[in-house]
Amino acid sequence: MNTKDTYESMEVSSRIQVMQETFGHLRTKPDQRHRGFVIFAVGERGERIVLKDGFDDVDGSPWFYSEMEELIWNDLYTSPGVYKFVGIYETDSENSGKFIGQATEFDIS
Residue 31: what pLDDT? Answer: 76
Contacts of 14 (CB under 8 A, 6+ apart): none
pLDDT single digits (tens) 45-58: 989 999 999 988 87
Residue 32: what pLDDT? Answer: 80
- What is the residue range of 33's domain? 26-105
Please report whether residue 14 resides in a domain. no
Please report whether residue 95 resides in a domain. yes
Domains in the chain: how many in total? Answer: 1
Please report whether residue 61 resides in a domain. yes
Residue 86: what pLDDT? Answer: 97
What pTM does this model have?
A: 0.74
Please report whether residue 20 resides in a domain. no
Mean pLDDT of all residues in 93-104: 86
User: Are residues 18 and 4 in contact, defined by beta-carbon separation less than 8 angstroms?
Assistant: no
